[in-house]
Amino acid sequence: MKIGKIELKHGLFLAPMAGVSDAAFRRVCKKYGAEMVCTEMISSRALCYNDRKTKELAVIADDERPCALQIFGNDPEIMAKAAVLALEFAPDAIDINMGCPAPKIAGNGDGSALMKKPGLAYEIVKRVKEALGGKNVPLTVKIRSGWDEKSKNAPEIASLCEKAGADAITIHGRTKDQMYSPPADLDIIREVKKSVSVPVIANGNIYDAKSALEMFGYTNCDGIMIGRAALGNPYVFKEIACALDGKDYKKPPRHVVVADIKEHITALVELKGEFVGVREARKHVAWYLKGMPGAPVFRNQVNAATSLKEIKTIIDKAFN
C-alpha cells in the first residue's frame, strides 16, 4: 500500500497508545515487522504552548521511520498551527486523533468526541491540510465506528475527511461507548472502505495471523493497525507478515525474548532516566511474562524492583 510517498509491503501499523508507544516500544516493534509506527498522541495546545514534555513525545529517531506524529484537539486553528510546529520533528506523516475514547480526552471535546461533530471534523482536516501546504507530508485520520450504537457514522466521517484532504483513514471498529470491547464491527470497517478512495487501515480485534487474514479478507482494507496485541508480543508483526507471505512462523526462542526484553527496558531507562524508566518498564515486563509459569510471582517482584539491574535479574530467573 502507499500513503503519499510512503510505500509499505503489507500495511502493518503499530497503533499510537498513550503511555505505551514511546520510542523504546516503537523500535522493538519495528524490529519485528511493524512497517509504520506512530508517536503517542500529542496535545495540539501543549505543542503550541511549547511545552517541554510534549516536545519530548514528538522526537522521532531515524531508525523508527516511517513514523507518524499524532496530534489531538478540537480547534481547527490550533490544530493547523500544531501540525506546522510538528514539522520541526520531521514526521513522515501527520495523524489526527478522532478516535481516543478516554474520558479526559473525549470529555473535553477531543478524540472520539469529534465523531459527534462531522462539520468540525471536516474543518479540522481541511485547515490542517491547508497549513501543511506543499510540505509533501501525508495527512491521515484515525476514527472510530461512531460515538455510540445509535450513531455509527464512520463512513460519513471518513468521506468528509477524504474530501477535506486526508490521504488515508484508520478505522477502529468500535464506538466510543464500547471502548475496547465487545469484538470490533468488521461490517462498519468494510463500509468505510467502500465509502472512500484513499487507503483504509483497519483496527480492532487483530491479535494474530488468523485474525489479520480475516480482517484483510472480509473488509478489503489496505492495511491493519495493531495495538494491545503487541503488548509483550512485538513478534505478532512477524507472525502476520509470514502469513501474508505464505511462510511458516516460528516463535522466537527464550534467549531471544530475554535479549529483546532487556534491550527494550534498557532503552526505556536511557530515554526517561532510571527512576521513570524502571517504573514504566514494570508494565512492559508484566506483559512479556503473561501466560508464563510463575508469572504472578515474577510480576510482583518486578513491581517491587527499583533498578534496571534488579529487573534484569528477575527476567533471567523468569525465563530460566
Amino acid (one-letter) located at 308: L
d(CA 22, CA 319): 25
Residue 207 to residues 39, 228, 240, 242, Cα–Cα distance (Å): 21, 8, 9, 14
Which letter, b or e, does each residue of 224-238 get, where b requires 16 or more Cβ atoms within 10 Å of its Cβ?
A: bbbbbbbbbbbbbbb
Grid cell of 241 as nine digits? 507478515
- Torsions phi, psi for 82 (to 5 deg): -65, -40
Q: Is 217 exposed, middle or buried, given 0-12, 13-18 or 19+ CB atoms closer than 10 A?
A: exposed
**67: helix, coil or strand?**
strand
Spot the catalytic one: 29, 38, 48, 100: 100
Strand partners, 198: none
**207: helix, coil or strand?**
coil
d(CA 165, CA 211): 31
d(CA 23, CA 88): 17
Asked if 48 is an active-site residue, the reply is no
Among 136, 42, 142, 121, CA closest to 85: 42
Residue 22 to residues 140, 150, 161, 221, 237, Cα–Cα distance (Å): 20, 35, 27, 26, 17
- The dihedral over CA atoms of 127, 128, 129, 134, expressed in degrees to the nearest 10, equals 110
Among 298, 275, 276, CA closest to 285: 298
Q: Active-site residue numbers?
A: 100
